[in-house]
Amino acid sequence: MFQLGSVFVPVTNLEKSKKWYEENLDVQEIDSWEGGAGFFFPQGTAQFGLIEVTRPQPTEFEITKGEKNSYFNFVVNDIEAAFQRLNDAGVETTEIQDFGGMKHFDFFDPDQNVFSVVDEAKNSPFHKESVKTQQKKLRAK
C-alpha cells in the first residue's frame, strides 16, 4: 500500500542547489514552485525535492555522542566510480569505508548537507536484488 514517494532536502539557495544536484547526481527536474523544485532520478521511483530555507538545517541525526547518521542514503552499483566522479567535480567527500562488504562514503552539498552513498554486498539482505526477492515472496502470499 505505501511506498516512498519523495525525499526533501533543505537548501539556502534554490537555483544554485538545483544546478549542483543536476550536475552531480544526474537528477532531472520535474517541476518547480515558489521556494522548491522536484526531481526524478534516471533509475528508481523515489522522487527528490529541494526546499529553500533561510538557514541551513540538518540532514542527519545523532546516534551516540559524536556519531551521526544521515536520514537517507544514495545507492550505487559502483561506489569507486561514484566516489571518483564526485571528487573529480570538486565535491567534498569522506573516504570509502568497508563494513563487511557494504561500502560507504559521505559527501557534502553546497549547504554542507551530508549524505551517504552505499554499495551493498551482493549477499546482503539489503542488496536491491535481495529486496526484490523478498517483495516477490510477499506479493505471492
**Residues 52 and 89 occupy one common structural domain:** no
Pick from 41, 57, 73: which residue ends a domain?
Answer: 57
- At residue 130, the pLDDT reads 74
The pLDDT tens digits of the residues spanning 7-24 come to: 999 999 999 999 999 999
**Residues 47 and 77 occupy one common structural domain:** no
- At residue 65, the pLDDT reads 82
The pLDDT tens digits of the residues spanning 59-97 come to: 888 898 888 888 889 999 899 999 999 999 999 999 999
CATH number, domain at 107? Answer: 3.30.720.110
- At residue 120, the pLDDT reads 82
Q: How many domains does the chain have?
A: 2
**Residues 32 and 47 occupy one common structural domain:** yes
Overall average pLDDT of the 45-68 stretch: 91
The pLDDT tens digits of the residues spanning 96-115 come to: 999 887 899 999 999 999 99
Question: What is the 3-class SS of the chain, one letter each residue?
Answer: CCCCCEEEEEECCHHHHHHHHHHHHCCEEEEEECCEEEEECCCCCCEEEEEECCCCCCCEEEEECCEEEECCEEECCCHHHHHHHHHHCCCCECCCEEECCEEEEEEECCCCCEEEEEECCCCCCCCHHHHHHHHHHHHHC
- At residue 136, the pLDDT reads 82
Q: Is the pLDDT of residue 131 over 80?
A: no
CATH number, domain at 44? Answer: 3.10.180.10
Q: Residue 126 sits in which domain range? A: 58-141
Q: Is the pLDDT of residue 140 over 80?
A: yes
**Residues 102 and 50 occupy one common structural domain:** no
pTM (two decimals):
0.85
**Residues 94 and 128 occupy one common structural domain:** yes
